[in-house]
């Protein structure tokens, strides 16, 4: 065994949905993985399949209570003193900050994955300035992976990290065998948005564009797939969602651990997000399945659609721009849509495979091991 690693995120759901491939790759390379995340009964079965030791960590994802965050720091510190890991691998804001701070206090090497900047960095404010200050201290000794160049540039320009240790990853990566191409469905186009149902994900813009486009093309269908997130201040309410469904403007498909069936039945994957994404998983998976993409020209999304043959870019918060992108898809022939989906698949294969993510982590861990051997 090469050593023990602590992998931490803000939820067990995040681990089983976004980090499972990485964990399997680390295990295959000989590492023992301990997952530190708030336990989620809905994710227990999939977590058990990963064959990892799971440590339940109390973490309030959107809370701003300094005492709760201090307890989180101490919880990470206690765990690291007990485990003595070869490295700490952080994902999402609070594990990146408080986990890396705890690692630094004990001399444990840390690798932080900045998988998007989220709501805190949507606008420059006291909150973004405060989070920047915390990141600046926490990441001082850490290796840092970013998922898009916009986030990297922002951290470097604001002096949060230096340019040397900051590297770009191809998002969370996607399993190219599990998400394999499927022929596009026949009939009227189906536009599918897969995301947590948050205002910042562009859900309202999607619904408004659907309402506009349906008046011209009643055969078009518009679907939402993803959980409501009551703990998030920008969550779409159940009442609002029910109103849209009753109106007939969208179909709500609920929540699915495996999104492949819904994506396979869809014509286009849409994400009109103005949230500070890393590289959105839904676009990676949709592109891997050979689906044309519609996404905003914004950090994390633009890498998949701007000046690419596999998708169409629209402007953030712009219903007309999104509706026009939908009209372009509707105006295409079936063959043209198929070609666009094939181009999306090629892009994912070339730049965003899960294998590339695993290789990057193994290289970083090999560097940590070599440095430890040199010191020893």
Count of CB atoms situated within 10 Å of the CB of 103: 27
Confidence grade of residue 295 (pLDDT, cut at 50, 70, 90): very high
pLDDT digits 0-9 by tens, 176-191: 999 999 999 999 999 9
Contact 144, 305 (CB under 8 A): no
Chain centroid to CA 268 = 19
Average pLDDT over residues 163-169: 72
Helical ranges in 149-195 per DSSP H: 149-157
What single-letter DSSP state applies at residue 183? P
Query: What 3-state DSSP class applies to 20?
Result: helix
Beta strands in 132-179 (DSSP E): 143-146, 166-168
264 vs 157 pLDDT, higher one: 264
What distance in Å separates the CA atoms of residue 159 and residue 153, rounded to the nearest whole number? 10
Quick: pLDDT tens for 73-95.
Answer: 999 999 999 999 999 999 998 99
Q: Are 268 and 291 in contact (CB under 8 A)?
A: yes
Helix (H/G/I), strand (E/B), else coil: 66: helix
The domains of the chain, with CATH numbers, are 3-173+353-375 (3.40.50.2000), 190-351 (3.40.50.2000)
The pLDDT of residue 165: 60
Does 151 score more than 70 pLDDT? yes
Alpha carbon distance 89, 68 (integer Å): 21
What is the predicted pLDDT for the residue at 225? 97
200-217 pLDDT, tens digit per residue, is: 999 999 999 999 999 999
pTM score, two decimals? 0.86
Starting at the edge strand that comes first in sequence, how are the strands of the sheet with 87-91 ordered?
A: 53-56, 31-37, 3-8, 87-91, 110-114, 143-146, 166-168
Mean pLDDT lowest among 158-172, 248-262, 286-300: 158-172
- Tens-digit pLDDT profile for residues 239-263: 999 999 999 999 999 998 899 999 9
Nearest to 90 by CA among 47, 128, 135: 135
Answer yes or no: are the C-beta atoms of 325 and 300 closer than 8 Å.
no
**pLDDT over threshold 80, residue 373:** no
- Copy the structure tokens of residue 226: 């993803």
Q: How many Cβ atoms sit within 10 Å of the Cβ of residue 221?
A: 19
Half-sphere exposure of 258 (CA within 13 A, CB side): 7
* Rounded CA separation 162/168 (Å): 13
3-state secondary structure of 50: coil
Distance in angstroms (rounded) separating the CA atoms of residues 71 and 106: 16
> Residue 132: its pLDDT value, please?
81
Q: What is the pLDDT of residues 111-145, one digit of tens each?
A: 999 986 665 555 555 566 777 888 898 898 899 99
pLDDT at 66: 84
- Torsion 338-265-236-285 (CA) sign: negative
Q: Which two tokens stand for residue 268?
A: 């286009």
């Amino acid at each position: 065994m090469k050593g023990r690693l602590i992998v931490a995120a803000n939820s067990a759901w995040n681990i089983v949905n976004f980090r499972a491939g990485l964990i399997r790759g680390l295990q295959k390379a000989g590492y023992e993985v301990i997952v530190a995340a708030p336990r989620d009964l809905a994710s227990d079965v999939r977590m058990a399949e990963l064959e990892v030791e799971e440590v339940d960590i109390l973490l309030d994802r959107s809370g701003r209570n300094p005492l709760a965050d201090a307890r989180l720091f101490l919880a990470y510190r206690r765990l690291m003193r007990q485990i003595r890991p070869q490295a700490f691998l952080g994902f999402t804001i609070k594990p990146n900050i408080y986990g890396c701070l705890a690692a630094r206090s004990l001399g444990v090497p840390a690798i932080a994955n900045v998988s998007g900047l989220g709501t805190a960095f949507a606008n420059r404010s006291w909150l973004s300035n405060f989070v920047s200050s915390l990141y600046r201290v926490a990441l001082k000794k850490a290796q840092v992976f970013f998922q898009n160049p916009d986030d990297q540039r922002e951290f470097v320009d604001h002096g949060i990290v230096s340019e040397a240790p900051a590297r770009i990853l191809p998002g969370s990566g996607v399993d190219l065998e599990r998400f394999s191409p499927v022929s596009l469905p026949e009939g009227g186009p189906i536009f599918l948005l897969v995301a947590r149902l948050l205002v910042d994900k562009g859900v309202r813009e999607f619904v408004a564009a659907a309402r506009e486009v349906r008046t011209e093309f009643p055969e078009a269908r518009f679907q939402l797939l993803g959980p409501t997130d009551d703990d998030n201040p920008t969550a779409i309410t159940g009442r609002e969602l029910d109103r849209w469904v009753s109106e007939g403007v969208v179909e709500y498909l609920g929540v699915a651990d495996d999104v492949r069936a819904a994506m396979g039945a869809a014509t286009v994957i849409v994400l009109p997000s103005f949230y500070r994404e890393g590289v959105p998983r839904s676009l990676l998976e949709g592109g891997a399945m050979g689906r044309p993409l519609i996404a905003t020209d914004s950090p994390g999304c633009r890498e998949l659609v701007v000046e690419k043959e596999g998708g169409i870019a629209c402007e953030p918060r712009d219903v007309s721009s999104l509706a026009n992108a939908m009209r372009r898809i509707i105006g295409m022939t079936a063959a043209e849509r198929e070609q666009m989906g094939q181009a999306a698949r090629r892009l994912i294969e070339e730049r965003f495979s899960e294998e590339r993510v695993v290789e990057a982590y193994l290289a970083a861990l090999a560097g940590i091991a070599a440095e430890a051997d040199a010191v020893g």
